[in-house]
Amino acid sequence: MVSFIDVDTIFSETYSEARSKFCAAASRAGLECENHPLTLVGEQGEQLAIDVVRLGSTKPRQVILLTSGAHGVEGFAGSALQTGIIESQWARDIPSDMAIVLVHALNPHGMSWSRRECEDGTDLPRNLSHHLYPPFPNEQYELFQPLLVPPNVTAQTLASLPGKSERIMSEHGIDNATPILRSGQYTHANGLTYHGVEASWSTRRWIEITRQFAGRAEDVMMIDVHTGFGDYGDLLVQNPSYRHSSPAYSTLCQWLGREPTGYSDDGSILQHRIETFEALHRQTKNGSRVAAMYFEFGTLPPSEFIDPWVVNNWHFHNGDRSGPEARTARKKFADFHYVRKLDWKKSVWEKGIAQLSDLRDGLVGSQYAV
């Protein structure tokens, strides 16, 4: 049973507003909010932090860990979902041995500065487990780095990039550059999809929080909320990189009641034999059942993504971050990941909470089906 809420009120315009709403909702509900402050400040000079609220059992047998903002700028849908869960009292019907753990803004720096990356340039979901392994080369990424981080971002330079990209692709026999970018790289902290060579601040906190809140549970369901992929307002439940032969993939299918979407054995990340959530699996106890998934809420067509990403990244690293061009670039990139229209917000809330309810039921039901 979900109490009615005014959907517009759970969404925010800025990181600091999102954080305030989340913490205030917890306070009104009499819930403790644990803070993990970052030493850097945000775009408006505000304190940055990861905030954690637990609903339900303090010694849970089953845990749902719902995380937002791993890709910074994508954090507004997940934040609204988390605040809405508290406001609507969605968790009041959960079994007495279950906990819902809400981890708000895993990458607060990126959420505040409208960036996917953390303060050290890492892509957090990639850094999460890739930092456990030696770096691997991605020579084809090197071909594109000068285009992804160009010398300047004038209209003329931007207009020349597709032609340069096509030339590189035909010279090197590349049909599709997307998997090259998705595979990530370890060599350019100012580039895109940078794995990082050590655990970022957000990775270390994500690991600690998982161990603290889910380390002794029998069943651990992890849901990491993203935006920017899929049809407008739709929700895709995605496999975060489990091979089809992985036990976690079977658990995920069982809890979900169907197969998730997204890659698994297509080679985009698995060619490196690294599962995205491995570092978190390691925090759970032996014999527990663990599965992670992404919620992906669709926004705008993918063709509107790459240029704003390049321009915003360029201004962050090269320009005056407080200048008007940098501010415009941030807004444009943020607008791709967060549609500030009521129909989109309603869709995110309604589809998100319906899928969460199904997953909760799948988790409860699965204990009798093993």
Contact between 99 and 63 under an 8 Å Cβ cutoff? The reply is yes
User: Smallest distance from the beta carbon of 226 to Zn ion, in angstroms?
Assistant: 3
102 phi, psi to nearest 5 deg: -105, 115
| Secondary structure (3-state) at 318 | helix
CB closer to Zn ion out of 201 and 297: 297
Stretch binding Zn ion (CB under 5 A), from 19-27, 130-138, 219-227, 257-265 = 219-227
Contact between 194 and 317 under an 8 Å Cβ cutoff? The reply is no
In this structure, how many other beta carbons lie within 10 angstroms of the beta carbon of residue 170? Answer: 10
User: Smallest distance from the beta carbon of 30 to Zn ion, in angstroms?
Assistant: 32
CB closer to Zn ion out of 109 and 226: 226
Q: What's the rounded Cα separation, in Å, for the pair 335 and 299?
A: 9
Stretch binding Zn ion (CB under 5 A), from 44-52, 208-216, 225-233, 262-270 = 225-233
CB closer to Zn ion out of 90 and 242: 242
Contact between 46 and 112 under an 8 Å Cβ cutoff? The reply is yes
Residues 35-94 that bind Zn ion (CB under 5 A): 71, 74
Q: Are strands 33-41 and 47-56 parallel, antiparallel or unpaired?
A: antiparallel
Binding to Zn ion by residue 126, rule CB under 5 A?
Answer: no
Residues 191-210 that bind Zn ion (CB under 5 A): none
Contact pick of 21, 205, 226, 360 for Zn ion (by CB under 5 A): 226
CB closer to Zn ion out of 126 and 289: 126
CB closer to Zn ion out of 36 and 226: 226
User: Smallest distance from the beta carbon of 264 to Zn ion, in angstroms?
Assistant: 17
DSSP state of 185: B
Nearest to 91 by CA among 78, 82, 103: 82
User: Which chain residues interact with Zn ion by CB under 5 A?
Assistant: 71, 74, 226
